[in-house]
Chains A and B, each alone.
Chain A
Amino acid sequence: MRIRDPFLWLAIISGFLVIIFILLPLLKVIVAPSASSLGAALKDHDVRKAIGLSVYTSGMAGLISLLLGTPFAYFLARKNFPFKRLVESVIDLPIVVPHPVVGIAILSVAGKDFWLGRVLAAAGIRIMGSVTGIVVVLTFVGIPFYINAVKNGFEKIPPRLENVSRSLGASLPSTLARITFPLASRSILVGFIMCVARALSEFGAVVVVAYHPMIAPVLIYERFEGYGLAYSQPIAVLLILVCLVIFLILRILSSRRPEKERFQLIH
């Protein structure tokens, strides 16, 4: 079979290049370290602590996004109000702001020169160089992903279902619990995982606010700067594996139909 169309050839070649562009570096870094260096990295206390901290702070950021973002996402999905577009643009701001700038911005608010910083200091809450600071930064960069995913999920649920539920005697909280959230549950999970994935990969904002305690990306950077590629590759591989696992869970959840959704949404 001969493919004569020149555009098709162009598409195949450029697709090929893109795939190579993505896969080659990742594959190389995975196979670069020796098995013994990987083992050594695993046993390194600092490495385990960094990866653990990364997972913990990203998880916390996901949880906070879930608690703060869910009511807001529901409101955005259901109501129209003046300047709604503006509000939605504000939610997307963390995505377009350069990461070190995010870190600087957060420090500006948390420092002694600002009233909020003084209030926090008086309450004994430290932002700079603390786990709290890291969680704040990660929530900042992750929450847009959560809100957008969940807002879309809520929008897909016809308001009429909630109307019928109300007319059958259910209060709004009861309706949300029995109708809205079960139908939106997959979107909520997907939003949570996207937020966590984003948080796990954050570097520039965290390094400004809290070089220590070290999350994994910061540790990898330090090892690279201090000791070179060979020393930093093993940790990089471990972090890639953690991220891949999370990514895989996301793909599985968004493509298959979980038990609860064996009933098709009737149009």
Chain B
Amino acid sequence: MIAIENLSVEIGDFRLRNVNLSVKEGEFFVIMGPTGAGKTVLIEAVAGLVPVRAGRILIGDVDVTRLPPEKRGVSIMYQDYSLFPHLSVGENIRYGLRYHRRESKNDEERLNYLVDSLELRPFLGRSPGSLSGGEQQRLALARSLAVGPLVLLLDEPLSALDPAFRSEMQLELKKIHRQVGTTFLMVTHDFTEALNLAQRGAVFNCGRVEQEGSVEEIFKRPRSEFTARFVGISNLFRARFRGSAAVIDGLEVETGRELSRGEGYVSVRPEEIVISRSPITSSMRNEFGGEVTGVSAQGLSFEVRVRCGNLTLIALITRGAFEELGIREGSAVFLSFKAAAVHTF
């Protein structure tokens, strides 16, 4: 549905350089990266709100690069919703309809469907300012989708919300995406949000695409240190490669595969590390002895920091296991993990 080719944009201090992306029809695609990575500039370029220096943007096979915003079939939803304060809720929702006169019956049907599934019918005569945050977001969604856009752009829609509210709104977004089937392109700096909502995505760093692919792929196999840190990989180390082993500061980690390069990065997810009080005989190729240097509760699990040699590894275990094993600061433990759990890049 969207093809971005060699896009370069320069606005004030924000730069996009040679960005290439493609989004499939009906997909929920997420643009991720830290603040200031140029994510908002990208979607504003897709919407036609900022001028493009070089490159092309195609939406539904149409080259829209030179088209004004109103002719692109792209709706944008900002973080602050930008509701029209001088119009009622109903007038907000209907705002764009007059520019999209197709068969009027279709419009009314879609309108009613949106108003009812977003539960806005009781509010139609009210002013946007009198709605709660959640209701305002639903109004912004209804307004954007009422015109039947090809693409809906969402600029960090959930970033400013508190955690409880956020999960509720995530479900809402997911639901409406499934129901309506429009292509969603969302910007976020929160990777877990991307995991919950999107199928595919791209990680941005300083105006460039670091990695593009399925969100799961990015999560499991980050291809650069930046991406790895962004997706929250805790046990990330520089290492030298020797045969099938990665050597980190004297510690030899077995990866189970032939490593082509001389050096690179190694990571293991905390969930994949097993803690024991004594050595285990198992199929796990990696086992290291160490001392617990810190423990912190993370919801229903515990994060345990263990010093092995010169490295500190972080493992995640359940509360039950934590209590059963009697682990506390200073405990002598063994850390084990499979060769397959070691990710190298």
- Which residues does A use to contact B, with CB under 8 Å? 158, 160-161, 163-172, 174, 178-179, 182-183, 260-267
Contacts and interface: CB of A to CB of B under 8 A. Distances in A.
A170 B47 contact: no
Nearest to A260: B86
B147 A168 contact: yes
B84 A170 contact: no
B99 A168 contact: yes
Given A163-B76, A266-B81, A170 B86 contact: no
B174 to A, nearest CB: 22
B86 A263 contact: yes
B13 to A, nearest CB: 13
5 contacts: A166-B70, A167-B48, A168-B99, A260-B86, A266-B129
Contacts of B82: 158, 160-161, 163-164
Contacts of B74: 167
B108 interface: no
A160 B47 CA distance: 12
Given A163-B47, A263-B129, A168 B96 contact: yes
A267 B147 contact: no
B68 A266 contact: no
A220 B173 CA distance: 71
Interface string B94-129: 011011100000000000000000000000000111
Interface of B: 44, 47-49, 68-70, 72, 74-78, 80-87, 95-96, 98-100, 127-129, 136, 143-144, 147, 149, 153
Nearest to A265: B85
A261 B86 contact: yes
A164 B76 contact: yes
Q: Which of A161, A263, A264 has the most CB of B within 10 A?
A: A263
A261 B129 CA distance: 12
B75 A168 contact: yes
A158 B86 CA distance: 13
A178 B86 CA distance: 10
Contacts of A172: 68
B78 A164 contact: yes
A95 to B, nearest CB: 32
B70 A170 contact: yes
The 3 closest A-B pairs by CB, nearest first: A169-B99, A168-B96, A166-B69
Nearest to A161: B82
Given A167-B144, A265-B85, 4 more contacts: A166-B68, A178-B95, A260-B86, A263-B86
A167 B80 contact: no
A264 B95 CA distance: 19
Given A163-B49, A164-B76, A164-B78, A171 B83 contact: no
Given A163-B47, A164-B78, A263-B129, A171 B86 contact: no
B80 A262 contact: no
Contact of B96 (A163, A170, A182): A170
Nearest to A163: B49
A264 B85 contact: yes
A267 B80 CA distance: 8
Contacts of B75: 167-168
Contacts of A163: 44, 47, 49, 69, 76, 78, 82
Contacts of A262: 127
Contact of A169 (B70, B77, B86): B70
Contacts of A161: 82, 84
A168 B143 contact: yes
Contact of A266 (B49, B77, B80, B144): B80
A266 B83 CA distance: 8
Contacts of A264: 85, 127, 129
Contacts of B99: 168-170, 174
Q: Which of B78, B85, B96, B153 has the most CB of A within 10 A?
A: B85
B69 A182 contact: no
Contact of B85 (A164, A168, A170, A263): A263
Contacts of A182: 86
A171 B95 contact: no
Q: Which of B69, B76, B80, B144 has the most CB of A within 10 A?
A: B69
A165 B143 CA distance: 10
A179 B82 CA distance: 12
B70 A160 contact: no
Nearest to A171: B70
Q: Which of A168, A172, A264 has the most CB of B within 10 A?
A: A168
A5 B95 CA distance: 58
B143 A266 contact: no
Contacts of A266: 80-81, 83, 85, 128-129, 136
A172 B49 CA distance: 12
Contacts of B77: 164
A171 B68 contact: yes
